[in-house]
């Protein structure tokens, strides 16, 4: 009986081992890793062809056939696609194809979001009370969180640059929005975990898998956000200062125009400078303009803060 069950569920066991082993091996490197992972991938593909009945069962599990509830069918197909993108992204990471893996991870995120939205839409249409409670938590909690993170973001920017962020309106908006998003994604994980526990006893089929996908995504964000927070900060600063700040600074007869610098101020005695990827560093400086009656003007640079340029995935 035991061996018969193993034979009946062999494909499910192989797929589970393939996903788990690839997830555990990400970040590790040894000489035969690519060969072992590639052989296991070929073995998994062969097992799928050999167990076509089990593959059909998996597809049927996700493919909810009901013309009256087309959103459930679409949600199921997208949920299945998200798991395929996730599994292949882990495989590509382990064999060194990082660039392709990045895009598959992005597709996994997009599919989970779409599937989650459609699942919540179906729950609301069916009159489920959990959706109303989650909306109340999101609206009230988000308002309080934005108020707190806005104050912290303004204080953090002042400490980094010695500049009042309200002087730069577009930077203030995107900077505070970025801080709100970072903390929002971190706090989203315990909320999604609570929803998953509820879904385990109330949802079936692909809707439960969609809830699991949302939990996986928020768990990934919980780990990634603290690690990549500086990356997002630099991206925001690069984009906003490039459009709102100036490309040059004047001091009497002098004119500064460095390609990796942006200057806040115009024809003034002091400029705030944001520099990015300047000798592998990013940060803020202050430039004081010292004018001379003999037209021997000079500049004095004072470093306010400086950090190493962040990295994303390592190639």
- Chain segment 89-127, per-residue pLDDT in tens: 877 877 777 778 778 877 877 877 777 777 777 777 766
How many folded domains does the chain comprise? 2
Model confidence over 157-199: pLDDT tens digits?
Answer: 999 888 888 888 898 998 898 888 888 877 777 777 777 677 7
What residues contact residue 281 under an 8 Å CB cut-off, 6+ apart? Answer: 275, 306, 307, 308, 309
pLDDT, averaged across the chain: 76
Residue 65 scores a pLDDT above 50: no
Q: What is the mean pLDDT of residues 204-210?
A: 69
Q: Which domain holds residue 258?
A: 245-308
pLDDT for the residue 190: 75
Q: Do the domain assignments include residue 15?
A: yes
Q: Do the domain assignments include residue 28?
A: yes
Phi and psi at residue 303, to the nearest 5°? -75, 130
What is the SS3 assignment for 191?
A: helix
pTM: 0.68
Contact 92, 104 (CB under 8 A): yes
Please name which of 211, 197, 192 lies closest in space to residue 119, comparing C-alpha atoms: 211
Model confidence over 20-53: pLDDT tens digits?
Answer: 777 777 666 767 777 777 887 787 777 777 776 6
Q: Do the domain assignments include residue 51?
A: yes
Please name which of 256, 298, 289 lies closest in space to residue 275, comparing C-alpha atoms: 256
End residue of a domain, out of 96, 126, 156: 126
End residue of a domain, out of 80, 102, 126: 126
Among the residue ranges 68-82, 225-239, 261-275, the one predicted with the least confidence is 68-82
204 pLDDT band, cuts 50/70/90, is low
Cα(272)–Cα(286) distance, rounded to whole angstroms? 5
Contact 295, 253 (CB under 8 A): yes
Q: Do the domain assignments include residue 193?
A: no
Helix or strand run (H / E) with residue 189: helix 169-202
Residue 1 scores a pLDDT above 70: no
Q: Do the domain assignments include residue 275?
A: yes
73 pLDDT band, cuts 50/70/90, is low
End residue of a domain, out of 60, 92, 126: 126
Cα(313)–Cα(26) distance, rounded to whole angstroms? 12
Model confidence over 139-156: pLDDT tens digits?
Answer: 777 788 888 889 989 999
What percentage of residues in the chain have a pLDDT greater than 90? 3
Q: Do the domain assignments include residue 229?
A: no
Please state, as a whole number, how many other Cβ atoms lie within 10 Å of the Cβ of residue 132.
12
Q: Do the domain assignments include residue 54?
A: yes
């Amino acid at each position: 009986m035991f061996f018969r069950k193993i034979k009946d569920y062999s494909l499910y066991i192989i797929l589970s081992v393939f996903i788990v082993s690839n997830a555990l091996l990400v970040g590790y490197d040894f000489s035969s890793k690519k060969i072992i992972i590639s052989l296991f991938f070929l073995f998994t593909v062969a097992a799928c062809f050999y167990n076509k009945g089990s593959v059909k069962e998996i597809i049927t599990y996700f493919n909810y056939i009901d013309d009256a509830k087309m959103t459930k069918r679409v949600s199921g197909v997208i949920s299945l696609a998200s798991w395929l993108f996730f599994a292949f992204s882990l495989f590509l990471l382990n064999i060194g194809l990082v660039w392709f893996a990045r895009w598959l991870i992005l597709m996994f995120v997009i599919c989970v979001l779409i599937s989650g939205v459609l699942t919540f839409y179906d729950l609301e249409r069916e009159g489920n009370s959990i959706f109303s409670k989650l909306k109340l938590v999101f609206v009230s909690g988000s308002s309080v969180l934005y108020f707190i993170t806005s104050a912290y973001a303004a204080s953090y920017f002042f400490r980094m640059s010695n500049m009042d962020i309200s002087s730069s309106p577009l930077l203030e908006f995107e900077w505070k929005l970025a801080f709100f998003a970072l903390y929002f994604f971190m706090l989203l994980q315990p909320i999604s975990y609570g929803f998953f526990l509820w879904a385990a006893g109330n949802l079936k089929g692909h809707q439960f898998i969609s809830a699991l996908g949302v939990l996986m995504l928020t768990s990934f964000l919980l780990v990634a956000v603290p690690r990549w927070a500086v990356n997002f900060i630099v991206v925001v600063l690069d984009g906003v200062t490039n459009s709102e700040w100036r490309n040059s600074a004047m001091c009497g007869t002098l004119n500064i125009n460095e390609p990796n610098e942006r200057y806040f101020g115009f024809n003034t005695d002091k400029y705030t400078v944001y520099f990015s990827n300047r000798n592998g560093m990013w940060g803020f400086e202050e430039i004081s303009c010292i004018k001379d009656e003999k037209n021997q003007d000079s500049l004095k640079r004072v470093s306010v803060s400086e950090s190493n340029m962040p990295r994303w995935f390592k190639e």
